[in-house]
Structure 1
Amino acid sequence: MPYGPPGRPTPPPRKSGGGFLSTLIVIIIVVVVGGLVRYAVNTGFDGAIGPRPTTTYTPGSGEAPAATGDNPLVTDTDGTLVPASCDYAPWGTQVERARAFFESAAVCLEAAWKPVMERNSLPFEAPTLSVTASTAGITTPCTGSTSNFAAFYCPANKTIYMPISQLQTDYFRDNWIVYLSVFAHEYGHHIQAQSGILIKANSERRAAGVHSDRGLELSRRVELQANCFDGMFISSTSDGGSLTADQVGLATEDSYGRGDRVGDMRDHGSSENGGRWFENGLAHNLTSRCNTFTASASEVS
């Protein structure tokens, strides 16, 4: 199924809305909770380095464990998003209509993820949502005052930024499933932050060097896990009757169109692996099947 209007070629592979490095890199250093946070163009986890873990996890304590592959969220073999019928507001490129759409999606995402977090004695706080026409004049703790960013999640203020101008609406038109999938990916980064996965990945990446082979591999593991969490949500809302088979097919095809391009920093993973991890979440709807931190190097290349 083509992404855009008939006769238009399939677009080249793209970073997801959460990409943290692309060919043109802008590095901004900000101070967040006593730690350094580094971001670049198209941020999401997405290059977040900091803050350092400061707590010891005790189940039921309300604190998140600083853990990745052995995090309770991904060692839970029954961690699934229960199918639900989501009442999505009509999509539109006008700010108010787009905001209403993403707000309705956020309600459904919270209903899907909160029980899984509670089941594993993990804290949950809904993210803040910022929907704007463009990136002009937007200042965030993660990007500073630069206007060169796409949709992304900023863990420093627990906010998902969805600038309409960066969603390729001229290409995808009213195929709102694509925008929903991008949003679900960014929400996946919020789940990583809430569960403690992001804190641990940040710490290890900082220790290894953010641009080292190990540092970039950690970034890919984070991004591909968010792809898998995205697939889980699309599966759950599809099973709940809110998406058609054609829409799920389009979201799946789109997942294979994102990833590292030639010349990019190897921070997101190949488009093939991006699609595979999305389909893994889609097919199984289990957090344990999204454990990218125990996957082989070739699965996160």
Structure 2
Amino acid sequence: MRLGDERESGNIEDRRGSGGRGGLPIGVAGGGLGTIALVLVALFFGVDPSVILSGGGGGQPDAPVARQEGGGSPDAADDGQRRFVAQVLATTEDVWTEAFRRGGNTYQPPNLVLFSGTTQSGCGTAQTATGPFYCPLDQKVYLDTAFFREMERRLGAPGDFARAYVIAHEVGHHVQNQIGVLRRVEAERRGMGEAESNALQVRVELQADCFSGVWANRTQQTRRVLEQGDIEEGLNAAAAVGDDRLQRRSRGVVVPESFTHGSSAQRVQWFRRGLEAGDPQACDTFAGQP
């Protein structure tokens, strides 16, 4: 991506140096499927599952902050990652501010929390092992940039645009929260069986993938930031975090009824749909087959 001198978002809450390293290894722990798969597999690129299981919804967003918390100081490589994250986040703010404006609404951007190891979120403890996620209760995205290395080494999804896709996907969940999708879905899931509830959550995740494609389309139209190979990186990243691929990698068996994010093919399909259309109206994953 050619971000050059693109502005950096001020909505970065930098907690690196305030938390310890550690936690579970990235991947799916052993044991049965069902709830374990929901809680662990779902932690790749999604809404925090504790919120989905126990209720969500949004409060009032915190005021934008841009600060370094704790006693540590990031090294040069981490400072580069911070700048990249802040620049990508700024492009999402511009895209969704304009999209909401056209609809006669006001977009309230999320804060993005950078942390190392562990930190507290409105949805409980965030760990490196859980991967990036969006918490509707405090309307923040949580990200340990160490996950980007895991994407490349363990998931085979390298590249700056693959990392940008992760950020745009999580911001997509914030968009869903702003327009009421997460609250409606949570209400519908009450009383559902596990398989039916999982299937509804898949539609939530695929819509966030589609929204990330919309972001890529509109950012390219206004800024021409994409380079040769970027789209392939994004499509590869979407495929790498499909439930079928993650389950096959972690336990050698695929159980579709336990999917919470969608198959690799579905994730690629919806990211591509948003990318080609550039229109949030094309992202209705709740109508027909996902």
TM-score relative to the length of structure 2? 0.69
Decide whether aligned partners of structure 1 residues 25 and 112 sit closer, same or farther in structure 2, where only a CA change above 3 A counts.
farther
Give 2:169's aligned residue. 185
Deviation at 1:286, TM superposition (A): 1.2
Give 2:209's aligned residue. 227
Deviation at 1:170, TM superposition (A): 5.1
Give 2:133's aligned residue. 152
Give 1:207's aligned residue. 191
- Contact residue 206 and residue 266 of structure 2 kept, 8 A: yes
- Contact residue 153 and residue 187 of structure 1 kept, 8 A: yes
**SS of alignment partner, residue 237 of structure 1:** helix
Farther-moved stretch of structure 1 (42-51 vs 108-117): 42-51
Write the distance in 2 (CA, Å) between the matches of 1:274 and 1:104.
25
**SS of alignment partner, residue 255 of structure 1:** helix
Note if 1:116 corresponds to 2:99.
Answer: yes
Deviation at 1:98, TM superposition (A): 1.5
State the one-letter code of the partner of 2:180: G
Provide Cα deviations, 1:6-50, integer angstroms capped at 9, x if missing partner. Answer: xxxxxxxxxxxxxxxx73399xxxxxxxxxxx9656162243332
Provide Cα deviations, 1:236-276, integer angstroms capped at 9, x if missing partner. Answer: 22333111132122212322222113346311111101100
Which structure 2 residues correspond to residues 243-262 of structure 1 after superposition, within 5 A? 243-261=226-244, 262=247
State the one-letter code of the partner of 1:23: V
The one of 45, 48, 52 equivalent to 2:47 is 45
Q: CA RMSD in A?
A: 3.1
- Contact residue 93 and residue 169 of structure 1 kept, 8 A: no
Deviation at 1:161, TM superposition (A): 1.1
The one of 72, 83, 88 equivalent to 1:100 is 83
Decide whether aligned partners of structure 1 residues 141 and 279 sit closer, same or farther in structure 2, where only a CA change above 3 A counts.
same
Write the distance in 2 (CA, Å) between the matches of 1:174 and 1:266.
24
Write the distance in 1 (CA, Å) between the matches of 2:103 and 2:30.
38
- Contact residue 225 and residue 292 of structure 1 kept, 8 A: yes
Write the distance in 2 (CA, Å) between the matches of 1:157 and 1:121.
24
* Unmatched 5+ stretches in structure 1: 1-21, 27-37, 55-91
Give 2:24's aligned residue. none
**SS of alignment partner, residue 130 of structure 1:** strand
**SS of alignment partner, residue 23 of structure 1:** coil
Note if 1:176 corresponds to 2:181.
Answer: no
Deviation at 1:284, TM superposition (A): 0.9
Which structure 2 residues correspond to residues 74-85 of structure 1 after superposition, within 5 A? none
**SS of alignment partner, residue 286 of structure 2:** helix
Which structure 2 residues correspond to residues 119-130 of structure 1 after superposition, within 5 A? 119-130=102-113
Give 1:24's aligned residue. 29
Deviation at 1:123, TM superposition (A): 4.4
Give 2:198's aligned residue. 216
Deviation at 1:176, TM superposition (A): 1.0
State the one-letter code of the partner of 2:280: T
Provide Cα deviations, 1:195-225, integer angstroms capped at 9, x if missing partner. Answer: 101110111112324xx22211110000000
Percent identity between matched residues is 26
Write the distance in 2 (CA, Å) between the matches of 1:25 and 1:184.
30
Structure with bigger helix share is: 2
Provide Cα deviations, 1:116-173, integer angstroms capped at 9, x if missing partner. Answer: 22333444211011112x3x23122223365531011111111111111122265379
- Contact residue 53 and residue 200 of structure 1 kept, 8 A: no
Write the distance in 1 (CA, Å) between the matches of 2:57 and 2:215.
29
* Unmatched 5+ stretches in structure 2: 1-26, 32-37, 60-74, 248-253
TM-score relative to the length of structure 1? 0.66
Write the distance in 1 (CA, Å) between the matches of 2:176 and 2:138.
14
- Contact residue 157 and residue 233 of structure 2 kept, 8 A: no
Farther-moved stretch of structure 1 (137-146 vs 226-235): 137-146
Write the distance in 1 (CA, Å) between the matches of 2:122 and 2:30.
17
**SS of alignment partner, residue 130 of structure 2:** coil
Decide whether aligned partners of structure 1 residues 284 and 51 sit closer, same or farther in structure 2, where only a CA change above 3 A counts.
same
Deviation at 1:235, TM superposition (A): 1.7
